[in-house]
Amino acid sequence: MASSVAPPPGGHMVTAEQIAAWMPQAERDLQALVALPSVADPQLYDLGPCSEASRFTARALRSAGLMDVRVVDVGDAAPTVVGRSPAPPGAPTVLLYAHYDVQPPGDLDEWRSPPFELSARGGRWYGRGAADCKGNVVAHLTALRTLGERLPVGVTVLIEGAEEQSSHGLTRYVTQHPSELHADAVIIGDSGGAAEGIPALTVALRGVVNLVVSVTTMRAAVHSGMFGGPAPDALAALIRILDSLYDARGNTVIEGVPPSDAWHGAPYPDAAFRREVGLAEGVQLMGTGSVAERLWARPAVTVLGIDCPRVVGSSMSVSARARARVSLRIPPGVDTQSAAVALTAHLQARAPWHAQVSTQLAGAVAPVQTPLSGTAHVTAGDALALAYGRPPVLRGDGRSVPVCAALAETLPSSEMVVLGVEEPACRVHAPNESVAPAEIARIALSEALFLQTYAQREGNCGRTP
């Protein structure tokens, strides 16, 4: 990796002070976005706030200097915002990605402040989406506002509204519009550093297969006193099926899914992991091998939810039906379709008492491995090093970003860089999600430096038209 970032021809590099001047606007942007409960699930929320968030984002991109900005219905529950600034003659184009939709807030009693109100305390900004991923939207906006009209590259901005719902429509849109979305480099703003103040380039994203498994044993529930014992309990059958997904140490064991691989990037210390997940006293971690291997290089199955009688109000009866939502995270190198077939076969083969088992695929996202070399990778690493005052570590991300696989397949000649504001203390998807304003500033500075210097480096490397 090169040790310095050269100034762009005829100009000066963006400074932290220039970014800082835009941070009050960044806070206003984030306040406005967090105030919108943009959960793109019509089963849970009205979709009006998603539409409002898309319109706000479009207005913000125009104010940041992009002239061609559209709100596009891609067939998802919420629209995507596409903005463009054409490349100067001979210059490359960079695509910036993030999303404005968020996860539901969950149990409101667990929030110390209202989830859809940006609240400041302890040097952090709290609110649902403050980090994932509205904080990254704001980082993009801040970088573009700081550069103003001095863009030495073409810029395409893609801000979607249904990432948390697997991006089915946007994925189709990407594959159908390769020329519109052509870019030499793609910056995925939906990840983060190893910790606040420690930058990272994410070089591996796990894929995911989601299945709903249903178990049926009888026509209807029966009295547990009159029939319990010989009557096959569907809930007990489901529990035994789910338990078979793990060995005694907690490793995921599914025939047909490679069980393990090595991780060659930055480590993830056990103590840091225990602290960041809030491990209860005396509880052991699941699985074997290093934390980094278990997170980024191995499959991991999670039971996301179970439909069964609630404790309060349950009757003295044997369950006839039960179902669960099962999520299988898969590392790069594992085929998504093969993993779905293997998980389905495993669930059906482990049914006790010949219980009837059916499965339904509820979504799948392919894993992604980003290049470890190339102009964009080197430029991004140098930009992060300059913005943070220390070089980035190479790490994985156990999460999935659905559109990444579609962008990699549709734009095979482009280089993908994954970074962002979402360090572990952000508690994304959990109550009391937050972001460090300093991380938004540092990522905005990193992106601005990248946009300033990428054109010069890409030109020196001989860009393919």
Percent of the chain residues past pLDDT 90, beyond the cut: 87
The reported pLDDT for the residue numbered 262 is 86
Of the pLDDT bands very low, low, confident and very high (cuts 50, 70, 90), residue 2 is: very low
Does the pTM of the predicted model rise above 0.85? yes
Annotated active-site residue in 101, 164, 233, 293: 101
Q: Is 27 exposed, middle or buried (CB count within 10 Å of its CB: 0-12, 13-18, 19+)?
A: middle
pLDDT tens for 51-97 read 999 999 999 999 999 989 999 999 999 999 999 999 999 999 999 99
Q: Is the dihedral of CA 172, 41, 204, 147 positive or negative?
A: positive
Kindly indicate the confidence band of residue 1, based on its pLDDT and cuts at 50, 70 and 90: very low
What span, in angstroms and rounded, lies between the C-alpha atoms of 207 and 333?
10
208 DSSP β-pair partners: 329, 365
How would you label 296-314 residue by residue, b for 16+ Cβ within 10 Å and e otherwise? Answer: bbbbbbebeeeebeeeeee
Strand order in the sheet with 300-307: 300-307, 321-330, 207-216, 356-365
Class for domain 207-259+299-365, per CATH?
A: alpha beta
Is the Cβ–Cβ distance between 417 and 183 less than 8 Å? no
Identify the DSSP state of 461.
T
Q: Using one digit for the tens of pLDDT, what is the confidence trace for 188-204?
A: 999 999 999 999 999 99
307 is a catalytic site residue: no
Strand ranges for 29-123 from DSSP E: 68-72, 80-85, 93-99, 119-121
Residue 161 has pLDDT above 90, yes or no: yes
Residues present in the chain in total: 465
The one catalytic residue among 163, 293, 382, 415: 163
Indicate if the pLDDT at residue 465 is higher than 50: no
CB atoms within 10 A of CB 267: 14
Which residues belong to CATH 3.40.630.10 in the chain? 16-205+368-460
The residue ranking higher by pLDDT, 292 or 7, is 292
The pLDDT confidence band at residue 350, using thresholds 50, 70 and 90, is: very high
Res. 434: pLDDT tops 80: yes
Q: What is the pLDDT of residue 358?
A: 97
Q: Quote the pLDDT of residue 464.
A: 40
Whether 163 is a known active-site residue: answer yes
Average pLDDT over every residue of 445-463: 81
Write the class of the CATH domain 16-205+368-460: alpha beta
Residues ≥6 apart with Cβ < 8 Å to 309: 235, 315, 319
List, in sequence order, every residue forming a beta bridge with 293; answer none if it has no partner.
Answer: none
pLDDT on residue 460? 56
The predicted pLDDT at position 4 comes to 47
* pLDDT band (50, 70, 90) for residue 149: confident
The C-alpha R_g of the chain, in whole angstroms, comes to 23
| C-alpha span between 137 and 51 (Å, rounded) | 16
Provide the mean pLDDT of the chain. Answer: 93
* Closest of 293, 290, 296, 275 to residue 424, by C-alpha: 275
Q: What is the pLDDT of residues 363-388, one digit of tens each?
A: 888 999 998 889 999 999 999 999 99
Q: Where along the chain do the CATH 3.30.70.360 domains lie?
A: 207-259+299-365
